[in-house]
Amino acid sequence: MTMGCGSSKKLKSVSSSELIINTTLLPKGSQSREATNNRKTNAKVKGNTRKTKTTLFRFDSVLTDKYEIKAQIGQGAFSPVFRAEHKATRQPYAIKVMNLKDIRGTGSEELFQSEIAILRQVKHRYIVNLYDIFTSKVRVYLVMELATGGDLYDRVYSRGHFTERDAARVIFMVLDGVRYLHSHGITHRDLKPENLLYYHPGNDSRIMIADFGLSHAKKSVEDSMMATNCGSPEYQAPEMLQRKHYTNAVDLWAIGVITFILLSGRMPFDHEHRPKLDEAILAAKYTYTGEVSLAVFIVLRYKLELQTDQFAFLCVCV
């Protein structure tokens, strides 16, 4: 079974456009309220420019009694994300909305319950934190830490590529977060630039790992092997493509791909046709000519056990 594939952004053949989100609050006392505000954001998508559209969303009073909804800031396959403020403290948050009808009685329900359990468990500087959960008859609202600096993909796209020192700083934070996850028996399984968020727009912002919808938490010491084929194709490890049982080392392979992207501004494996992409990944067929001494230092610093079939940090392979 393949899950979560095909949703990765491309680093080439992209154009920018505008996405307008309109929101409007219903009168106080209504059972639910529509959130609305005007917001324009650049959306990088492959191929033609995305058409401008208007999105209206209805919220339940169980949430809006406590939070003021400001604007939509993201859109997943089943879960839009909104910026909100706590009415009493004025503290900003991100609110992820899940429709229960989309997850009940489907394979998504188990993934959703797993994501909630993981988010309740983790607490780390380089991981997006969960603060509160609200449930109505039709929805679940996850109140999470707000990241205002965009994702790593957008920064790579705007800069072309990172310097070795800047890339090392990013990977250092990602590794620290992943080391924490692995120490708690959690494998992310969907690490990619789109799931690495900047806390604020500044160059000194910390990175936060997000989106645990495909993550796996082992239930016992013996439960260290996984078999589900999931994640975004360009970041999948060879053993996953080969339908083998795998360990949390697949996260390290994905970090290797991310490192390559940061240093070169392009994908190490980039084919339109899935069979060709898989073939390149399995053969570790890529080209890189730069020097990356700091990236090597980071690997040694963390003494990571790279158990994947190929060396995880592709850009430092020989």
Q: Which domains does the chain have, with CATH numbers?
A: 11-144 (3.30.200.20), 152-316 (1.10.510.10)
- Determine whether 102 is an active site residue: no
pTM, to two decimals: 0.75
| Ranges in the chain, pLDDT < 50 | 1-6, 12-54, 296-318
SS3 of the chain: the string is CEECCCCCCCCCCEECCEEEECCCCCCCCCCEEEECCCEEEECCEECCCCCCCCCCEEEEHHHHCCEEEEEEEEECCCCEEEEEEECCCCCEEEEEEEEHHHHCCCHHHHHHHHHHHHHHHCCCCCECCEEEEEECCCEEEEEECCCCCCEHHHHHHHHCCCCHHHHHHHHHHHHHHHHHHHHCCEECCCCCHHHEEECCCCCCCCEEECCCCCCEECCCCCCCCECCEECCHHHCCHHHHCCCCECCHHHHHHHHHHHHHHHHCCCCCCCCCHHHHHHHHHCCCCCCCCCCHHHHHHHHHHCCCCCCCCCCCHHHCC
**pLDDT tens digits along 189-221:** 999 999 999 999 999 999 999 989 889 998 877
pLDDT at position 304: 44
Q: Which of 151, 190, 211, 309 is catalytic?
A: 190
pLDDT at 220: 78
pLDDT value at residue 43 = 32
- Determine the pLDDT at residue 142: 93
pLDDT number for residue 310: 39
Q: Write down the pLDDT at residue 293.
A: 59
